[in-house]
Amino acid sequence: MKYFSPLFLFIAGWLLLLFTDSLASLSLTNGILQLVLFALVVCIPAWRTGRMSYVDIGWPWGLTLIGVLTWVYGEGDSIRVAVVSIAYIFAGSRMGLGALKMWRIGHLQTEFPRYEYQKRRWQKSGKTNTALAMQVEAILQGFANASFLAMPAFVIAMNPDESISIFEIIGIIVWLGAFVMESVADMQKLAFLRKMKKLGKKNKVCNVGLWKYSRHPNYFAEWMVWNGLVIAAVPSWLFLYQQESIIIWVLLGVGVLLASRMMYTTLVYYTGAVPSEYYSLQKRPEYKDYQQTTNIFFPGPKKS
């Protein structure tokens, strides 16, 4: 049971979507296709190679799939459907193409550190059957795309109201600002690494630009991307009050909020900041000082 218990919340989220009047058909199609995608792209390769890194291919292309299905089957206002679909397709394809590039040049032939760290967690919690734990983990990622991570898109895409809410405007601004911030952080780190390589310096700590204010500004920005979607979903969720039972409607609201919570947990503790810093401390002698002066996630001024 300890292997399968992490699945229960995500299965419950998918079942919630299947019990709605307005989202059931779209959610059933998405759920089946997500599980097929993860079985082919993640589960089988992970079983054959013993590596979890294939999640980095399956998860973003699963987001792209959500965007495509939203565009094709969304019954709401066409502009609203197009905007949220493009947001998912663009974000998913950007990460997905990057993952395919890493696969092509051979980076997936070794396990990514964050998944090595996850295997350490499994061992510590008594999950000694690593092969089974990997399969459950892969399926969990598929159910995440089938449930909570799809909720903002599906809720927004069913709103026929042609007027634009202030929440949607704020959500779009947050999404765009966060995407720009994430791109800038990535470019700053890449430029820093290139400079250090040119100078012949190894294992230096990137503390320039946005990295002066957060140890993981890219992860923070990715979380804010999802917060933008959650904010934009508020008026569409309110509209569903007319179509769903009060219990289903309330649970959908909780589910949309959980998309933000789950991404925060993932980006900080699960496969983000904490695993990254475990290895950074081993590789970079100056990283401990960096930890003491710079916030881990939320940007802020340097600490004395």
Is 2 part of a structural domain of the chain? no
Within a domain: 1: no
The whole-number pLDDT of residue 304 equals: 74
**What is the predicted pLDDT for the residue at 108?**
86
In a domain, 127, yes or no: yes
How many distinct structural domains can be found in the chain?
1
The pLDDT score that the predictor gives to residue 232 is: 98
Would residue 301 count as lying in a domain?
no
What pLDDT, on a 0 to 100 scale, did the predictor assign at position 169? 97
Largest CA distance in the chain: 64
Report yes or no: 248 and 20 within 8 Å, Cβ to Cβ. Answer: yes
Identify whether 304 is part of a domain. no
Q: What's the pLDDT score for residue 107?
A: 87
Which residue's structure tokens are 């590039």? 101
pTM of whole model > 0.85?
yes
Q: Which domain holds residue 221?
A: 7-293
| pLDDT given for residue 303 in this prediction | 84
What percent of the chain has pLDDT above 70? 100
Query: Positive or negative, the Cα torsion across 91, 95, 101, 104?
Result: negative
Cα–Cα distance measured from residue 206 to residue 300, given in angstroms and rounded to the nearest whole number: 16
43-54 pLDDT, tens digit each: 999 999 999 999
What residues contact residue 79 under an 8 Å CB cut-off, 6+ apart? 162
In a domain, 108, yes or no: yes
Structure tokens at 212: 């002066």
What is the structure's pLDDT at 299? Answer: 96
For residues 93 and 62, the answer to whether their CB atoms sit within 8 Å is no
22 exposure class (CB count in 10 Å sphere: 0-12, 13-18, 19+): buried
Q: What is the DSSP letter of 24?
A: H
- 163 within a domain of the structure (yes/no): yes
pLDDT given for residue 206 in this prediction: 96
Q: What is the mean pLDDT of each run of 10 residues along the chain (304 residues)?
A: 91 98 97 97 96 96 98 96 97 95 90 93 92 95 97 97 96 97 96 94 94 97 98 97 95 98 96 94 94 96 85
What residue type is assigned to position 77 of the chain?
D
CA-to-CA distance for 284 and 125, rounded, in angstroms? 28
